[in-house]
């Protein structure tokens, strides 16, 4: 399983994650922050779980590009 998290309230809206991984991140037109697509919100931590390990590479690029380090990628 791959687990991606986004601590959304700390997003500064720089768009880097979207550039690196548009399949999983999109900018919200409402508040200008990143949205982790198909994720579930638990107290501000948005989490996406996927059995598809192919997504790790692009999600890690997004995590590395994020200047405030609010994206994590874990493999279990």
Segment contacting ligand SF4 by CB under 6 A, of 41-49, 50-58, 59-67: 59-67
Which residues 9-38 are close enough to bind ligand SF4 by CB under 6 A? 11-17, 34
Measured from the CB atom, the residue of 51 and 67 that comes closer to ligand SF4 is: 67
25-to-29, 44, 57, 60 alpha-carbon distances in Å: 13, 16, 14, 12
The verdict on 46 binding ligand SF4 (CB under 6 A) reads no
Q: Interface with ligand SF4 by CB under 6 A: which residues?
A: 11-17, 34, 65-68, 70-71
């Amino acid at each position: 399983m791959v687990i991606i998290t986004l601590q959304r309230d700390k997003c500064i809206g720089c768009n880097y994650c979207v550039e690196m991984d548009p399949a999983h991140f999109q900018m919200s037109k409402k508040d200008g922050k990143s949205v982790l697509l198909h994720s579930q919100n638990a107290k501000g931590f948005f989490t996406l779980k996927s059995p598809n390990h192919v997504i790790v590479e692009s999600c890690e690029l997004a995590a590395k590009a994020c200047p405030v380090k609010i994206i994590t990628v874990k493999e279990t």
